[in-house]
Amino acid sequence: MPTIEIDGKIITVEPGLTVIQAADRLGIHIPRFCYHPGLSPAGSCRMCMVEIEKIPKLQTACTTPVVNGMVVRTDTEAVQDARRSILEYLLINHPIDCPICDKSGECLLQDYYTEYARYTSRFLETRWRKRKVFILGPTIVMDEERCVLCSRCVRFFEEVSGVRRLGIFQRGSEAYLSTYPGEVLEDLYCGNIVDICPVGALTDRDFRFNQRVWMLKRGHSICPFCARGCNIIVDFNEDSDIQVNDSRVYRFRPRFNTKVNDYWMCDTGRYGYKSLDAAERIREPLLREGKRLIPVGWDRIIKRAALRIRETLASHGPEGVGVLVHPTVACETALATRELFVEQLGIRNMSTGFPVDPSAFEDAILIRRDRAPNRRGLEMIGMVPKGEDVPAGQLAAGWATGRIKLLYVLGDDPARFHNPQGPSPIPAGEGILILQKSTAGPEDARARMVLPAAMPAEEDGTFVNFEGRVQHFDAALAPLGEALPACEILRRLGEALKVELHPECWRLGQETWAPSSSS
């Protein structure tokens, strides 16, 4: 195990680690453009040059492996002069369009110029004119003048996506980044090259000119659109005046987790941010009056839902009530549902959602065939008493034939996001249908009541991904409109039903993580 010294700090690392990786572990930032921890080192930008004792010339920290006894200096006069020269070279043809660049505020070139350069340009010759607003695909646009030829995007496609889409062509000052002939950037992971581009050369056509990054707040959450459970950053502006076509949330970005999604996420989840402020979001409680669903207050709809549940239980017993829990709800919501409907009301017609579509797309990178983020979680907590989980199709059939008089549905159908125009999995029925969800769907036409629930980014909770990894998330922003966290809706319903619930037991990490004694 080699031991090295970097700027006076000692660290012992495993063999094969590079100087820049060792420095990162010490919290010492070495500037970089081409280096990215999720990709192979390239050593092309030369921005990470450092001094190493007994070596006469500066070395690139991203390609130099550590050697026992090595002494490294990252901030000497020679190192700073090298960085200044590299920046002067990179900025020869770089346009000064920071005021309109989407990367402004997140740009490494801006940061490093402010820290190391701040010089008066000596370049008097004519700048190269390169392509601007060059469309590479449905989601990616390139400004060739801004490109510093770091090759991060090229390596991403070859090493992560496993395809060859981009390349660097020509040599010297005439070198440029472009797609291979006939190639279009249509992969499901294209958005990642915008994230890793250190400057504003590659930008997202969806986010382009929509917001300045320094006006956005950041929250952490879990992507709810498949069983992978990618860790994400939610960029939002909570001061927005939200109307039907306005937005609070501007983008989702991947958050590093080496055990789940590494540095990446798919574009399906990336552009799923739109669902948070979509026109289809249910913003207030809806109660059916005749043929219309009309907005009402929470007190009224909770009392009405509790009344209908009590009446159904009194006239038809627990067998007359069915509860369908889509595996899009958090574990805490599932625990609250189990306590209210199973343990307190004695209902046994319980289902934890429809099976996985075997024809759904899946790949070997991140995307899972199972579009539900918490199917494994519902299994692990023992959502339904052992051996009593009713198949969702059977529950729906009981509702359609009238055997089940009241059907309470929690969560959004996981297939709805990927196919918004698809048919509802809930058939027509003559009884009482109560929906607790966040997004409108065709089943609303048959609902007596619709209770607006928060989406995952708007509430605290826990998902368990397909590998059994438990992942807690906190609310990044407040629920839209009058929507409430799912557990709060169930707590209010429990109060109206006059049954004693124990919200403190809905927290994971306690004994309630295992199936309860009634299972």
* Locus of tokens 């669902």: 275
Q: pLDDT band at 238, cuts 50/70/90? A: confident
The C-alpha atoms of residue 222 and residue 231 are separated, in whole angstroms, by: 5
Quote the pLDDT of residue 189.
97
Supply the pLDDT for residue 518. 31
Instruction: Assign 85 a pLDDT band (cuts: 50, 70, 90).
Output: very high
Contact 185, 130 (CB under 8 A): no
pTM of the model: 0.91
CATH for 98-204, options being 3.30.70.20, 2.30.30.760, 3.40.190.290, 3.30.420.40: 3.30.70.20
Rg (CA), the chain: 28
Q: Can you state the angle between helices 108-116 and 77-90, rounded to 10 degrees?
A: 130
Residue with token string 């607006």: 452
Could you list the beta-strand ranges (E) of 25-131. 49-52, 59-60, 71-73
Q: Which residue has the higher pLDDT, 22 or 123?
A: 22
Name the average pLDDT for the chain.
92
286-513 in CATH: which number?
A: 3.40.50.740
Whether the per-residue pLDDT at 508 is higher than 80: the answer is no
Q: Where are the chain's structural domains? A: 3-90, 98-204, 225-277, 286-513
DSSP classification of residue 433: E
Q: Given pLDDT bands bounded at 50, 70 and 90, which one contains residue 509?
A: low
- 389 neighbors 350 (Cβ within 8 angstroms): yes
> 122 exposed, middle or buried (CB, 10 Å; 0-12, 13-18, 19+)?
exposed
The number of residues making up the chain comes to 519
Checking if the pLDDT of 187 tops 70, the result is yes
Specify the CATH number of the domain 3-90.
Answer: 3.10.20.740
Convert 32-71 to b/e letters by CB count within 10 Å (16 or more is b): bbbbbebbebbebbbbbbbbbeeeeebbbbbbbebeeebe
Tens-digit pLDDT profile for residues 415-450: 887 776 778 888 888 899 999 999 999 999 999 999
At 120 the pLDDT is 77
| Structure confidence at residue 516 (pLDDT) | 31
Phi-psi region of 382 (alpha: psi -120 to 50; beta: other; left: phi over 0): left
Q: Is the pLDDT of residue 511 over 60?
A: no
Distance CA 232, CA 192 (A): 12
Neighbour tally for 335: CB within 10 Å: 28
More confident residue, 116 or 511: 116
346: pLDDT strictly greater than 80 = yes
Q: Is the pLDDT of residue 168 over 80?
A: yes
Residues 6+ apart with CB under 8 A from 264: 38, 160, 189, 192, 230, 254, 365, 366
Evaluate if residue 145 carries a pLDDT over 80: yes
Backbone angles phi, psi at 250, to 5 degrees: -110, -20
Range 1-5 contact pairs with CB under 8 angstroms and sequence separation of 24 or more: 2/66, 2/67, 2/68, 2/69, 2/70, 3/68, 3/69, 4/66, 4/67, 4/68, 4/69, 4/70, 4/71, 4/72, 5/70, 5/71, 5/72
Angle of helix 298-316 relative to helix 486-496, nearest 10 degrees?
Answer: 60
Pick the range with the lowest mean pLDDT from 47-56, 67-76, 238-247, 465-474: 238-247
Question: Looking at the predicted structure, is the pLDDT value of residue 486 above 60?
Answer: yes
Residue-level pLDDT at 24: 97
The pLDDT of residue 100: 92
Flag whether pLDDT at 321 surpasses 80: yes
**DSSP letters along 4-19, please?**
EEETTEEEE--TT-BH
Extract the tokens encoding 436. 């607790």
**C-alpha distances in angstroms, 485 versus 199, 361, 478?**
39, 31, 9
| The predicted structure's pLDDT at residue 58 | 97
506 closest CA partner among 333, 386, 323: 333
Question: pLDDT exceeding 90 applies to what percent of the chain?
Answer: 82
Burial 472-485 (b: 16+ CB within 10 A, else e): ebebbbebbeebbb
Q: What DSSP designation does 3 have?
A: E
Q: Any idea of the CA torsion for 489, 490, 492, 498, to the nearest 10 degrees? A: 160
Secondary structure of 271-296 in HEC code, one letter for each residue: HHHHHHHCCCECCCCEEEECCEEEEC
Nearest to 488 by CA among 454, 447, 439: 454
The letter for the amino acid at 222 is I
Question: Taking the CB of residue 248, how many other CB atoms lie within 10 A of it?
Answer: 21
pLDDT tens digits, 281-302: 999 999 999 889 999 999 999 9
Structure tokens at 78: 């020679």
pLDDT of 239 reads 67
Tokens coding 490 = 């169930």
Compute the average pLDDT of residues 35-54: 96
**Can you read off the two tokens belonging to residue 242?**
């939200």
